[in-house]
């Protein structure tokens, strides 16, 4: 990995892998012969990249999503720069957000997509939350594995996103219809839903001042944040 020290060392997945001897640091300007997962890539990682990864490995850029403009990507050299397709982060910092994968998730994703499950699992098992990555993303990864080239993975991603948007619109429409139906029922015996009581014994209504992110369920049964968006932390 190219590490730009943007992250808290105690929370940085890349630094933890380094301490465990599972990843090597690269100096800026060093040329890497394997696949480099970077937000500046053009083609997504695809199963056809397997031979490159088997022979030369995978590298990531360890930096903050909020400080991408500080990274000298022009000095990060590889003939095989790749993007990751649509996947959901499960790390504690960006849980539920599409594309916001940290270093270990990015590495594992690349290994999984090309069919190298063992190294992906070796990396993820070093984190208490690591098993969740496959649990949340297995349906997506399996669909990417049916592809061969980067262009096919890109087309599959576009199809998946279109399905998710359609499902989201359907859920919003159904929720609105249910709300409208409730308003049409006079004197309905509605039960107040609560999360429990606070220290003063008063109830807290579900959704009261809960923030702006809305949770939805995608086509694979995963709960994601509707306002999430897709560099590694």
Binding residues for S-adenosyl-L-methionine: 13, 61, 84, 99
Cβ atoms of 35 and 52 within 8 Å: the answer is yes
Residue 118 has what DSSP assignment? H
CA distances in angstroms from 110 to 9, 114, 183, 190, listed in the order given: 23, 7, 49, 49
Q: Residues annotated in the binding site, as ranges?
A: 13, 61, 84, 99
Q: Which helix (H) or strand (E) holds 44?
A: strand 43-44
Greatest distance between any 2 Cα atoms in the chain: 71
CB contact at 8 A, 63 and 120: no
Instruction: List the beta bridge partners of residue 216.
Output: 224
Q: Which long-range contacts (CB under 8 A, 24 or more apart) does 37-40 make?
A: 37/61, 37/82, 37/83, 37/84, 37/106, 37/107, 37/109, 37/110, 38/73, 38/76, 38/81, 38/82, 38/83, 39/68, 39/83, 39/231, 40/73, 40/81
Dihedral over alpha carbons 56, 101, 118, 26 (to 10 degrees): 30
């Amino acid at each position: 990995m190219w590490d730009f020290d943007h992250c808290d060392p105690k929370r940085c997945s890349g630094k933890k892998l380094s301490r465990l001897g599972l990843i090597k640091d690269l100096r800026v300007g060093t040329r890497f012969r394997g696949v480099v997962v970077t937000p500046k890539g053009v083609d997504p990682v695809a199963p056809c990249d397997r031979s490159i990864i088997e022979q030369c490995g995978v590298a990531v850029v360890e930096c903050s999503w909020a400080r991408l403009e500080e990274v000298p990507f022009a000095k990060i050299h590889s003939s095989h720069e790749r993007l990751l397709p649509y996947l959901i982060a499960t790390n504690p910092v960006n849980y539920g957000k599409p594309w916001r994968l940290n270093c270990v998730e990015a590495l594992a994703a690349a290994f999984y997509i090309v069919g190298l499950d063992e190294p992906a699992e070796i990396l993820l098992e070093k984190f208490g939350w690591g098993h969740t990555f496959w649990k949340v993303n297995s349906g997506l990864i399996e669909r990417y594995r049916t592809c061969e080239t980067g262009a096919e993975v890109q087309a599959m991603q576009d199809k998946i996103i279109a399905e998710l948007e359609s499902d989201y619109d359907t859920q919003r429409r159904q929720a609105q219809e249910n709300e409208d139906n409730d308003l049409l029922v006079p004197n309905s015996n509605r039960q107040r839903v609560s999360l429990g009581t606070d220290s003063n014994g008063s109830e807290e209504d579900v959704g009261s001042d809960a923030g702006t992110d809305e949770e939805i369920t995608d086509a694979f049964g995963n709960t994601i944040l509707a306002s999430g968006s897709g560099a590694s932390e």
